[in-house]
Amino acid sequence: MTTEVLVALLVGIAACCFAAGARMIVRAKRERAVARARALGRAGEPASPRDAQGRLMSVVHRAGEAAARRGVSQSLRERLAAAGFHGPSAAELYMGSKLILLVLGTVAFGVASLPLPADAATKLLITVAGAALCFFLPNLVVASRRRRRRSEIHRHLPDVVDMLEICVAAGMGLDAAWNSVSDEISRVSETMSDEMELTNLEISLGTPRALAMRHMAERTGVEDISSLVALLFQAERFGASIVDSLRTFARSLREIRSQRAEEGAEKMAVKLLFPMIFFIFPVLFVVMVGPALIVMVQALGAG
């Protein structure tokens, strides 16, 4: 009877934790959108701390602050910025979500392992493994978003450079061309447009153009943007033609993109080797040899 009561209590706690986790995820998405809008200078309504979601996010934030009492490393903030989390409390929410997911994973996998026909050591191992998986889940999400954003920036950066070249060749200043391109590129790449708008915001607040563009390169972690910043800085400093520099740089970017595509195509044969060995070849073997084996078995049975 005591075991049944304990199981029921743990199941109830797990259900409450999962419900709270779902609400936390919804609230986190809204918080990121509001923080993004504030960073870009757009109007956004802050979340009310009186509702349940606001209280939950407050709990997550406090948990993150407790987990990061010694401060948050700059590398973590750079990784979050490269993944698109620019909010001032992004690092605290990240640490708080990891801590809460650790507790949820421990409770959930502990409850799930109770009815299993295994010894206590196996159940403990399952609980620890599940808790570790939940704890590192935010790392996987941040890494996936960072790779996706970098891939998108790599794909659209040559188009951005081409449009900058066209605008500057038409007589526009570099700042005006940057603003115009950030508006046009938003139709195909929201990520690239947001990063360019953040750079525009820094420039409008008094940050030097070269430093603001260097901040963009640090946020995205894309080396090609660092090369673009160095190119524009050198062209402006030494009086070189910005149009010719942008044209040459765009041509080199397209060549690099073509080389990356060729490299990916060459790697595809190696990546397809293991699926073919484990999934395609056995099926072909059964299809080709199966009828002959059936005939042989029938012949031996008749004999």
Write down all domains in the chain, each with its CATH number in brackets: 2-36+43-135 (no CATH), 150-268 (1.20.81)
How does pLDDT run across 17-52, given as a tens digit for each residue?
A: 555 555 555 455 455 544 554 544 443 334 444 456
The letter for the amino acid at 170 is A
* Residue pair 77/50 in contact by the 8 Å Cβ criterion: no
* Residue pair 32/97 in contact by the 8 Å Cβ criterion: no
How does pLDDT run across 178-236, given as a tens digit for each residue?
A: 888 888 888 888 888 888 888 888 888 888 888 888 888 888 878 888 888 888 888 87
Task: Give the pLDDT of residue 205.
Answer: 84
pLDDT band of 303, cuts 50, 70, 90:
low
Task: Give the pLDDT of residue 43.
Answer: 33
Q: Determine the average pLDDT of the residues in 60-82.
A: 72
CB-neighbour burial class of residue 78 (10 A; exposed 0-12, middle 13-18, buried 19+): middle
The secondary structure of 145-176 as a DSSP string is HHHHHHHHHHHHHHHHHHHHHHHHHTT--HHH
Number of Cβ within 10 Å of residue 34's Cβ equals 16
Task: Give the pLDDT of residue 264.
Answer: 80
Q: Determine the average pLDDT of the residues in 287-299.
A: 82
**Whether residue 56 has pLDDT greater than 80:** no
Task: Give the pLDDT of residue 153.
Answer: 87
Give how far the C-alpha of residue 91 lies from the chain's centroid of Cα atoms, to the nearest Å. Answer: 14
**Whether residue 58 has pLDDT greater than 80:** no
Task: Give the pLDDT of residue 45.
Answer: 38
The average confidence (pLDDT) of the chain is 77
Task: Give the pLDDT of residue 13.
Answer: 65
Task: Give the pLDDT of residue 68.
Answer: 66
Q: Determine the average pLDDT of the residues in 43-72.
A: 60
* Residue pair 130/109 in contact by the 8 Å Cβ criterion: yes
The Cα-based distances of 134 to 3, 106, 232 in angstroms read: 26, 9, 44
Q: Determine the average pLDDT of the residues in 57-72.
A: 68
